[in-house]
Amino acid sequence: MTNTSTILAELRLDGILCLTINRIAQLNALSIATMNELEMLLKQAQEEEQVRAILLTGAGEKAFVAGADIGEFTQLDASESRSFAQRGQRILRQLEAMSVPVLAAINGFALGGGCELALACHLRVASEKASLGLPEVKLGIIPGYGGTQRLTQLVGRGKALELMLTGNPVPAAEALRIGLVNHVVSADQLLPFSLGILQQIVARAPIALAKVIEAVAAAQDGNAEGYNVEARGFESCCHSADFREGVAAFLEKRPAAFDGR
């Protein structure tokens, strides 16, 4: 994995790919170039067997991602603006559909498109200095990268409507209380704590991890198909070498050595 013009990429020896949005002067705002580069890096990560998990964060101390780059879409006409939103939705669906776990380490402001980016990740850990929100109504627009859907799924209809209709961000402690983030830690512990979670996860069976992610995604559709996806995933795991290794390790009282087969 190589760095791009706006994203730093580092594949660690433990298989955790660290992606850092690196536009400090712009508070890491999501430009068109940044979204293109994220799409490219995610495609590479999906095809790279060495990548076992992804940690996504922002450079600097102020912002995870402070929003989309407003200057790039203020002059769009009606059809262009719809395409702009659909493109962002497609890339964040790609992120959400990754077969390896993706964790957002939220080091500061996660507003607008930045909050939508965090919502598309499977897990969210926030610094105590972080704040999250979808303030688009203050600009006369609405979230366009899937925020109306994912926030509602995550925190419930009433709280999601309150956050989006007022446009007011919430501090990290409140985000934790309403289930918007999984954990809140001190700023200096954000990356060590986040890496620690992912290190626990990557020790598990890769096939099982992918099937859990797939089944939970199906649950969001709110119909019985999620149960079918779960059953098919269970079947796939039962026929895997990882399952046989997991059972053997349990019976032999030793750590399992999974290899994704």
For residue range 42-80, list pLDDT tens digits in order.
999 999 999 999 999 999 999 999 998 877 776 777 778
* β-bridge mates for residue 111, sequence order: 133
Q: What is the C-alpha separation between 160 and 152, in angstroms, rounded?
A: 5
Residue 101 has pLDDT above 90, yes or no: yes
Q: Which two tokens stand for residue 215?
A: 């089944």
Residues noted as catalytic: 116, 136
Phi, psi of 135 (to 5 degrees): -90, 20
Higher pLDDT, 141 or 115: 115
Lowest mean pLDDT, pick from 44-48, 141-145, 159-163, 237-241? 237-241
**pLDDT at residue 239 in the model:** 77
Q: Are strands 63-65 and 109-111 parallel, antiparallel or unpaired?
A: parallel
**pLDDT at residue 241 in the model:** 85
Residue 225 has pLDDT above 80, yes or no: no
| Mean pLDDT within 77-102 | 90
Q: What is the C-alpha separation between 152 and 148, in angstroms, rounded?
A: 6
Question: What is the reported pTM?
Answer: 0.91
